[in-house]
């Protein structure tokens, strides 16, 4: 089985967020990490590989600046087999539509049975790219995966749904978007780190994308336009209540938690 995991290098918000004059993130000047949902998806792929290591290959693919190769090497150190970096100046400033178009164009060059992406990236929180990739490729998508199993040519997914879950089955090839709750990512191993340092990262540019038009790429091909960007978020006043007793306060808080399905 051939699995492709789409991962993204995202800004580490603990180090601060910076913007370019056009409102896009200044990624080159910020510390970066692997997107948490993508890392959980990678762990799910590696577990499938653990179950059948002789017949399973895991490829990680990312789109970004040249330094995004760092997250590919991290993934290889965790156990992935290959890394593919899609990078080109003309791809910069892409919104979800242009990003998914680009990634789909790269995926058309790769043999795959299962594609795993994170549910969403912490720098955008749109949850759009994974399903859009599936639409471009014409394959089924199952989102919000809490658990992934493979039986023969089918993938079986436990999908989060409010305070319940769905059990869905799809014939491969298929795309699944992963929640961070899907699993705790493993650590890099010393041997894996050495392998990652020696690994050759495949690098593709605009010319390597298949069945993609220039008008759908980069900032120019992005229908989403940023009106204003800021790293300062104004917090609302919230709801203020004054219970008459400790018992009423406890009852109020418990009621709110039940309404939100926390308990």
Q: What is the pTM of this model?
A: 0.80
- Tens-place pLDDT, residues 170-185: 999 999 999 988 889 9
**In the structure encoding, which two tokens stand for residue 168, read together?**
């869905």
Distance, C-alpha 236 to centroid of its chain: 29
Q: What is the CATH number of the domain that holds 150?
A: 3.40.50.620
Q: Are strands 57-63 and 154-161 parallel, antiparallel or unpaired?
A: unpaired
CA atoms within 13 A on the CB side of 208: 16
| pLDDT over 90 at 228, yes or no | no
* Structural domain range at position 114: 2-216
The answer to whether residue 227 is domain-embedded is no
30 in any annotated domain: yes
| Number of domains observed in the structure of the chain | 1
Confidence of residue 232 (pLDDT cuts 50, 70, 90): low
| Residue 23 falls inside a structural domain | yes
Q: How many CB atoms lie under 10 A from the CB of residue 24?
A: 16
pLDDT tens by residue, 113-154: 999 999 999 887 889 999 999 999 999 999 999 999 999 999
- Report yes or no on 246 lying in a domain: no
Residue 208 within a domain: yes
Q: Does residue 259 belong to any structural domain of this protein? A: no
Q: Is residue 258 part of a domain?
A: no
Let me know if residue 244 belongs to a domain: no
């Amino acid at each position: 089985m051939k699995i492709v995991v789409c991962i993204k290098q995202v800004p580490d918000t603990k180090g601060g967020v910076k913007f370019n004059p056009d409102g896009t993130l200044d990624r080159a000047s910020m510390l970066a990490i692997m997107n948490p949902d993508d890392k959980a998806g990678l762990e799910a792929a590696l577990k499938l590989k653990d179950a059948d290591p002789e017949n399973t290959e895991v490829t990680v693919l990312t789109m970004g600046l040249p330094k995004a190769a760092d997250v590919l090497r991290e993934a290889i150190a965790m156990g992935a087999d290959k890394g593919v970096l899609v990078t080109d100046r003309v791809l910069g400033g892409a919104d979800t539509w242009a990003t998914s178009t680009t990634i789909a164009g790269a995926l058309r060059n790769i043999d795959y049975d299962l594609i795993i992406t994170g549910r969403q990236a912490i720098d955008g929180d749109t949850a759009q790219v994974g399903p859009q990739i599936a639409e471009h490729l014409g394959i089924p998508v199952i989102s919000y995966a809490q658990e992934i199993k493979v039986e023969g040519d089918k993938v079986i997914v436990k999908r989060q749904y409010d305070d319940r879950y769905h059990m869905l089955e799809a014939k491969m090839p298929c795309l699944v978007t992963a929640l961070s709750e899907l699993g705790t990512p493993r650590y890099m191993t010393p041997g894996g780190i050495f392998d990652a340092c020696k690994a050759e990262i495949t690098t593709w540019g605009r010319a390597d994308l298949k069945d993609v038009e220039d008008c759908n790429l980069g900032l120019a091909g992005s229908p989403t336009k940023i009106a204003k960007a800021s790293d300062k978020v104004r917090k609302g006043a919230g709801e203020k209540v004054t219970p008459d007793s400790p018992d009423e306060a406890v009852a109020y808080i418990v009621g709110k938690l039940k309404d939100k399905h926390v308990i």
